[in-house]
Structure 1
Amino acid sequence: MSPPPAQPGMAWASLALGLLLMFGITAYPRALVDAAGKPDHLAATLAAWAMAAGLVRGVGFVPRNGLLRIALSGWASALACCVALLRLYLVRG
């Protein structure tokens, strides 16, 4: 008899990124505006995706659906966060 599959467990880096984004955006929402003071919706969407993926993967949940597994992975969280930061850097000039 084979042993049961191992549980994925918590991903502390993803959880830390998700919590950092959650508290950071709540405390300072002006971080997601462009140079003119208008909200940058693409950066906000990417930051929200990074936050959600970080929290989902961080607590140890791994979806069965392959597309959701990729979209809510730790790598997706890091990539979305980096692209959001790059977008804000380029938009602000």
Structure 2
Amino acid sequence: MNSLPANPVRAQVSWIPLICAVGIMIALSIYPGFLVKPTGDVDRISAYLFFWSMTAGFIRGVGFIPKTRLLAIIFSGPACLITFTVSVVNLYAF
């Protein structure tokens, strides 16, 4: 009764999402005013996307891969990079 899969996925450190997450963490800790619009309002959509990107970067960056398919997609390396890109575009385009 071996419950291990025949070909287990080997988790390893993913450096790009991890570096992205650490960069977001440091940048927003040092200068949280980065998320403030010129009108003085906080850009909440960009904040949510940056924090999603940071979370996905840390989760995937340290090598953890959730077993649930939905969580694996939400916290994947591509999700980290896509949400980071969309948040930067949203911050400067609107």
Q: Same fold (TM over 0.5)?
A: yes
RMSD, aligned CA: 1.5
- What are structure 1's unaligned runs of at least 5 residues? none
Indicate the residue corresponding to 2:93 in structure 1.
90
Structure 1 runs (4+) greater than 4 angstroms displaced? none
How far apart, CA to CA, are the structure 2 residues paired with 1:34 and 1:25? 15
- C-alpha distance after superposition, 1:38-65 (max 9, x if no partner): 1000000000000000010000000000
CA distance in 1 between partners of 2:39 and 2:7 (Å): 55
Structure 1 residue 58 corresponds to structure 2 residue 61? yes
Q: Which residue of 2 aligns with 1:46?
A: 49
Q: Which residue of 1 aligns with 2:74?
A: 71
SS at 1:22 equivalent: helix
What is the TM-score when the length of structure 1 is the normalising length? 0.91
- Distance in 1 separating the partners of 2:34 and 2:62: 26
70-79 vs 27-36, which moves further:
27-36
Q: What are the Cα deviations for residues 16-46 of structure 1, in whole angstroms up to 9, with x where unaligned?
A: 0000001111111111111112100000000
The number of equivalent residue pairs is: 90
Percent identical = 34
TM-score of the superposed pair, with normalisation by structure 2: 0.90
